[in-house]
Amino acid sequence: MSISDRERLRMQDPRTQYPQPPFPRQPQEAPGLAAAMDPKPDHGETSYVGHGRLAGRYALVTGADSGIGRAAAIAFAREGADVALSYLAEEDAEARSVAELIEAEGRKAVLLPGDITDQAFCERLVDQTFDQLGGLDILVNNAGKQTNQSEISDITTEQFDRTLKTNLYAMFWISKAAAPLMPPGASIINTASVVAYKAPEILLDYSTTKAGIITFTKVLAKQLIEKGIRVNAVAPGPFWTPLQPSGGQPPDAVETFGSSVPLGRPGQPVEIAPIYVFLASQEASYVTGETYGATGGTGLA
């Protein structure tokens, strides 16, 4: 359902700019695919136009096959960056379609499938990005696991462990491996969530990790500014990504997803991509240790 750049950027009512609920019932198995969603998410495939803000940069994006990671990867390439894509092997087809879009811009795309809950893979991921791109200037820790459960008794140790390893441990392992390779002026961007501030009762483990990401970002920013590396977070509200129908929300909640925010609809991934571009660019030279919200009007307070 991608729209033209001219259509996306013309002045219009943001409440009706993109599809509004109700949506069809559409449960998926995790990790979920954007291609199976109705309506299709807009990641900027045809609607994002770059302006050279990241010319000559090298970026690594986790969870880059779909959702916010896909939108960030497309935007980075349109802004002039080469991009390494981290994703699960079962998401290969969607990751390859991102790579094709990146290469269509004349930029280099590196496909790096694997499981970021494995520390050794996270370390290889950084090394392979650096070797195959020739550098590492931008790191986006975006991949996430979200599984709704109404009671703590329903959360297994396996689920809790995998959520923390995907959302927190991987961010730690990847950032630790990347920091020594990143030059002054580089940027690390972590994907948090509005649930760090307004946690729903069905997302106990996920909300815990997102609050941790914000604190991790604040502390790492203080450490790495000594090397000239900025660290920030983005806190999305309800965004239309495969995370939601593949277990992130109950099936009936997907049908009305985003209806509770003032804008009355979920965000499309392309709508948050410019925040990642800004935080990665030199235009954000005085921004570190911050969390930027895109919540559809609910705010972070």
**Residues annotated catalytic, as ranges:** 206
- Tokens 């804008």 belong to 263
Structure tokens at 172: 């730690």
Distance between CA 244 and CA 26 in Å, rounded?
A: 10
**Region for 43 from its dihedrals, namely left if φ exceeds 0, alpha if ψ lies in -120 to 50, beta otherwise:** alpha
Please classify residue 142 by burial: count the beta carbons closer than 10 Å to its beta carbon, then call 0-12 exposed, 13-18 middle and 19+ buried: buried
Amino acid (1-letter code) at residue 211 = A
* Residue ranges with strand state E in the chain: 58-62, 82-87, 109-113, 138-141, 187-191, 230-236, 291-294
